[in-house]
Amino acid sequence: MSASVPTVGSWHRLDRAGLQAVIDVLWLVGHRVVGPQVADGAIVIRDLRGVAELPTGWLDDQDGGSYRLRHDPVAGTFDHVVGPHSLKNFLFPARETIASFVQLNGSWSQTPPPAQVPPLAVLGVRGCDLAALAIQDRVFLGSGYVDEPYKSRREKLFLVAVNCRRAAATCFCHSMGSGPAAGPGFDLALTEIEGGFACEVGSERGAAVLAEAVAAGASIGGCSPEEVEAARGVPQALAARMHARQQGDGEPRPRSLDTHGIRDLLMTNLEHPRWDEVAARCLSCTNCTLVCPTCFCSSVQEVADLSGDHVDRERQWASCFSLDHARMHGHSVRSSTAARYRQWLTHKFAGWIDQFDTSGCTGCGRCITWCPVGIDVTEEIAAIRASGSGAAPPDGAAPAGAPEAGETAS
């Protein structure tokens, strides 16, 4: 084994005790540590004190409109994929005060923002989660005005990523270029290997935390070049299976999406009959937008205390599926479900490219799993491609206009 002083780019071998030491150090230096755990029949993200709370041995069977946990004695700690929660729940919470006002002697004034919450460390984030974070960064930090609450949490965020070695049937990160390998953007990244984890250091902060864990007595060794290669091969092998649309062990094959020219495909098919067809199934329940890790719409409510002299302006998640979203003069600009579904899909996969120079979709599959009627974005887009104007001819011969950078046909 090589020397094991953690530096950016170095690899180390951790057993479960080593991972526990990392969690302990993160709490000790003042982070709130959260990670995946089984609760209420799903794998959710919540406060994490110990490795014993991680969902070792649990697998999630996901498909359109369905999510089931299954115990498998040979499954690892991170062989489940993404659940209903994402980093969005923590960095852009569903409710949050964005401004406060107090009235004194008949005169109102705005009060400074409340004291900041402790820094957050998240264990178990996937490639698609990191990609979603980079997308929300563009929304809240990169478009001129800076969202201060998001920024202060984002700057202190510590990320322990995981390289996936299994995909669910709803995953299509390989099509969106966001996974299954994690990165960039993590502080530490874990790959499950025989007897523990290979841990790649992604940042100075990651190196410091790992060094602290070593100082605290954790046995954290170096990885041999062969071990590094084997660890890198884990998500690569999964990516190859996803591109080949195969999955091992009798599991359903992952989804996939042809993204060639997708912006123009959708924007030239705003009147496609498929919008009415999907609207006949869509309940306009907003689930897809709530679980989507990149959706950023919000509205603001006034929340007053009993005296009425203290008012918080509370930002709450909003959804393009609700009639309130595009309310004007007492009616909704998008009064039909077809128009609202079209807004969701065209924004996510087309408008986002104009607005933020990136797709709004990471291929995490959450919207497919958590849609009560199993509506599937990949299927809707494929249907439009198959029959819409400007539809791509077969064999991937792309229509006029080069594909966007980072697009992958599969």
Partner 1 sequence: MSVSVSGAAAEKNPWRSHTARICTITPETPGVRTYELELEDPVERDHYRFAAGQFNMLYLPGIGEAAISVSSDPAGRDTLAHTVRAVGNVTDALARLGPGDQVFVRGPFGTPWPVAEMLGRDVVIVAGGLGLASQRAAILFLMAERACRSVTVLHGAKRPDGLLYGREYDAWRAAGVAVHTIVNEADASWSGPVGLVTDLLTDSLRDPSATTILCCGPDPMMMGVAKAAIGRGVATRDVFLSLERNMACAVAHCGLCQFGPLFVCRDGPVLPYERIAELLRIPQV
Q: Contact positions toward partner 1, by CB under 8 A?
A: 98-99, 101, 103, 107-110, 139-140, 143-148, 267, 270-271, 296-300, 302, 304, 308, 311, 313, 315, 318, 320, 325-330, 333-336, 338-339, 343, 346-347, 350-351, 353-355
Using CB distances below 5 to 8 A depending on partner kind, what does residue 218 bind out of partner 1, ligand SF4, ligand FAD, none? Answer: none
CA 118, 123, 127, 128 dihedral sign is: negative
Distance CA 130, CA 305 (A): 38
Shortest Å distance, C-beta 79 to ligand FAD: 48
Shortest Å distance, C-beta 317 to partner 1: 10
Residue 58 three-state SS: strand
Please say whether the beta carbons of 344 and 367 come within 8 A.
no
Helix extents (H) in 80-224: 88-91, 127-140, 148-156, 173-176, 204-215
Choose between 304 and 373: whose C-beta lies nearer to ligand SF4: 373
Choose between 186 and 349: whose C-beta lies nearer to partner 1: 349
Shortest Å distance, C-beta 331 to ligand FAD: 7
* 17 closest CA partner among 186, 211, 217: 217
Site string for ligand FAD, 11-40 (x = CB under 6 A): ------------------------------
Distance CA 152, CA 24 (A): 23
Q: In this chain, which of 91, 190, 207, 292 binds ligand SF4, going by CB under 6 A? A: 292
Number of chain residues interacting with ligand SF4 (CB under 6 A):
25
Please say whether the beta carbons of 409 and 392 come within 8 A.
no
Of the listed pieces 43-51, 268-276, 288-296, 304-312, which binds ligand SF4 according to CB under 6 A? 288-296
* Cα Rg of the chain, angstroms: 23
Site string for ligand SF4, 300-339 (x = CB under 6 A): ---------------------x------------------
Facing residues of 9 across strands? none
Query: What's CA 133's distance to the chain center, in Å?
Result: 7
Shortest Å distance, C-beta 327 to ligand FAD: 7
Shortest Å distance, C-beta 358 to partner 1: 13
Shortest Å distance, C-beta 303 to partner 1: 9
Shortest Å distance, C-beta 360 to ligand SF4: 7
Using CB distances below 5 to 8 A depending on partner kind, what does residue 298 bind out of partner 1, ligand FAD, ligand SF4, none? Answer: partner 1
- Type and span of the H or E element at 236: helix 225-243
Chain position carrying tokens 């000790």 = 28
* 82 closest CA partner among 130, 34, 27, 43: 43
Choose between 231 and 292: whose C-beta lies nearer to ligand SF4: 292
Choose between 5 and 323: whose C-beta lies nearer to ligand FAD: 323
Choose between 363 and 388: whose C-beta lies nearer to ligand SF4: 363
Please say whether the beta carbons of 24 and 16 come within 8 A.
no
Site string for ligand FAD, 300-339 (x = CB under 6 A): -----------------------------xx---------
Distance CA 247, CA 391 (A): 29
Count the neighbouring beta carbons within 10 Å of the beta carbon of residue 277: 14
CA 61, 337, 268, 288 dihedral sign is: negative
Site for ligand SF4 in 342-401 (CB under 6 A): 348, 361-367, 371-373, 375, 377
Shortest Å distance, C-beta 330 to ligand FAD: 3
Shortest Å distance, C-beta 329 to ligand FAD: 4
Query: Which pair of structure tokens corresponds to residue 292?
Result: 């989507």
Shortest Å distance, C-beta 335 to ligand FAD: 13
Strands (E), 318-399: 327-328, 331-332
Query: What's CA 279's distance to the chain center, in Å?
Result: 26
294 lines the binding site for ligand SF4 (CB under 6 A): yes
Residue 344 three-state SS: helix
Strand pairing report for 11-14 and 107-111: unpaired
- Type and span of the H or E element at 39: strand 32-39
Choose between 331 and 397: whose C-beta lies nearer to ligand FAD: 331
Q: What does the binding site for ligand SF4 look like in residue numbers (CB under 6 A)?
A: 282-288, 291-294, 321, 348, 361-367, 371-373, 375, 377
Q: What does the binding site for ligand FAD look like in residue numbers (CB under 6 A)?
A: 329-330
